[in-house]
Amino acid sequence: MADNRLRSIVIVGGGTAGWMAAAALIERFGANRHTRITLVESPEIGTVGVGEATVPHIREFLKHLKINEVDFVKRTSATFKLAIGFEGWAGEGTQFFHPFSEHGVPLLGTSFQHYWVKARGLGKADVIDRYVLSSELARAGKFAVPKSNDGKGFLYFNYALHFDATLVARYLKSWSMTAGVKHVEGKVGNVRLHGETGFVEALELDGGREIQGDLFIDCSGFQGVLIEKALGTGYEDWTHWLPCDRAVAMPCESRVAPPSYTRSIASQAGWQWRIPLQHRVGNGYVYCSRYLSEDGAIAALRKGVEGPALGEPRVLPFRTGVRRKIWNRNVFCLGLASGFLEPLESTSIYLVQRGLQYLLGSFPQARSNLALQENVNQRNRAHWDHIRDFIVLHYKLNKREGEPFWDECRHMSIPDSLTETIELFRETGRFRQDAIEFFRASSWLAMFAGFGLLPRYYSPSVDDVPEADLVKEFENMAAGIASAVAKAPSHEEFIRTNCLANLPVQAAANS
Ligand SMILES: Cc1cc2nc3c(=O)[nH]c(=O)nc-3n(C[C@H](O)[C@H](O)[C@H](O)COP(=O)(O)OP(=O)(O)OC[C@H]3O[C@@H](n4cnc5c(N)ncnc54)[C@H](O)[C@@H]3O)c2cc1C
């Protein structure tokens, strides 16, 4: 049998996606020395440099690479994230959380929300956030490491990180190069394709250099140098469901204690993010250019930030949608080259991670395998659709009546899959199985409850529990959570005690 292993993998792009790919690939192939891994990037083009809020899966990525989380937190100036706090989405003055944990506990095998709906109807239960430890910790500005109880029970929660994207790329670069990734600086110009197969054979760099490879990973950002410019793979536009098409980003000095959650603040024509880091705050306004000018967005952002600006506002245009294939011929794309979903649920970096799982889990051989490619493309696409639906939900259920952008979003048509998810919950308080793949039932519940969409009927088994017992259950849960919150340190104190950033002066200044 011929040796079917790949000899050379070339990554184009040295942003978060490129260095995550380099680290994951060298971790997999570092030991065998049969497969060379090269990363080429153009310092002249630069990286997007935003992308500072994550979901808990990032910690699994670090763990897989055997990167010490405390060291990573210190060197990327990270803070901890228990939830996303949505402000003003359900109307001016409202706030609710999307936490990284379950709500309450099931009773007699029936999900929490059925009991909560009944108790709420009787006036015996509070808003849903009171039954989620991480939401309550976030509300109180506190943080603690969850006690290990296998992810079960109402005192368990999960968490993610907020970090400085530039420092993360730097960290992963140093890690990957130490492990054996070859780094080349240069701008990819022409891409040479094989005359018959159309596979990429080589990249021609400025200065006449050339890089050959068997497999190419396109992490070149929005323009997709290989996947789109060279292979013309195609892009499916989702702007009709997610109408925001610009972001303006501007970091500022920290003036208040860092919250242990990402703030998402509904604004005139979109929403603003606030991401606390140890040495600054990341701020941005994601907006729809049909409803707000660039100057208007910059002015609104400047007005709302908590401290003096660190640099000028940077406008980033984007088009929400997905690349038609994540894997085409011998090119696999990741990061912004594979599509863009706005950062409302901090899913882009996670999608890089997921793409890498598809790649490593179905690893290509030297000979092409179309059935495998097709399978990966379908699975990846289903995953993007799932995340898209969850993000569209935020706009569809908004309660900002009388504001043109938000009125349009409330009245827009939505994907059929999302309509089914909403209607099933509205009627029965249940979730479609295929809708809870990444965003689990608790995530959907947080959004439905936050927007005040409650099911018409709860499960009949709830009525088997005597009312007095039901009330007691809710009191116990709320008391258990309140007691755990009271014992936890503030987020600021937790960081000071355990993982204060030790940034080189130059890195902090440049990031
Ligand atoms: C406004 C905004 C906010 C975001 N917020 C979040 C968030 O909170 N959480 C999250 O998970 N994600 C977020 N993201 C997404 C996140 O920033 C990206 O997923 C992540 O940074 C990965 O980017 P990238 O590496 O694909 O691309 P980039 O950072 O654009 O890097 C592209 C790389 O390709 C190189 N390159 C390009 N062309 C060439 C060429 N011809 N030759 C050689 N090299 C080339 C560049 O030099 C660069 O190194 C956000 C994105 C935006 C736009």
Q: Over the stretch 270-289, which tens digit does the pLDDT of each residue have?
A: 999 999 999 999 999 999 99
- Describe the strand order of the beta sheet including 95-99 as a list of residue ranges: 95-99, 83-87, 262-267, 270-276, 281-287, 246-249, 314-317
Looking at residue 303, what DSSP letter applies? H
CA 44 to ligand 1: nearest atom: 47
Please confirm, yes or no, whether 81 is among the known catalytic residues.
Answer: yes
Q: Whose structure tokens read 């709860």?
A: 458
DSSP string of 394-431, one letter each residue: HHHT---TT-HHHHHHHHS---HHHHHHHHHHHHHS--
Helices vs. strands in the chain: H and E counts, helices first? 15, 21
User: Which of 262, 157, 234 shows the shortest CA–CA distance to 484?
Assistant: 157
Residue located nearest, by CA, to atom 7 of ligand 1: 51
In the prediction, which pLDDT does 509 show?
Answer: 44
Contact of 321 with 235, CB cutoff 8 Å: yes
C-alpha to C-alpha distances, 159 to 153, 261, 300, nearest whole angstrom: 16, 9, 30
- 5 C-alpha vs ligand 1 centroid, how far in Å? 30
The encoded tokens of residue 195 equal 């005359």
In the prediction, which pLDDT does 3 show?
Answer: 79
In the prediction, which pLDDT does 33 show?
Answer: 76
- Judged against a pLDDT cut of 90, whether residue 267 lies above it is answered with yes
CA–CA dist 137, 348 (Å, integer): 26
C-alpha to C-alpha distances, 15 to 103, 123, 138, 219, 502, nearest whole angstrom: 36, 51, 30, 7, 22
C-alpha to C-alpha distances, 207 to 114, 204, 465, nearest whole angstrom: 66, 9, 76
Residue type, 393: L
In the prediction, which pLDDT does 511 show?
Answer: 46
- Judged against a pLDDT cut of 60, whether residue 400 lies above it is answered with yes
Query: What pTM was computed for the model?
Result: 0.96
Mean pLDDT for 28-47 is 89
CA 335 to ligand 1: nearest atom: 26
Residue type, 186: G
Tell me the best of 348, 350, 352, 353 to mutate to test the pocket of ligand 1, counting ligand atoms within 8 Å of each CB and taking the most.
348
- 48 C-alpha vs ligand 1 centroid, how far in Å? 4
Looking at residue 128, what DSSP letter applies? G
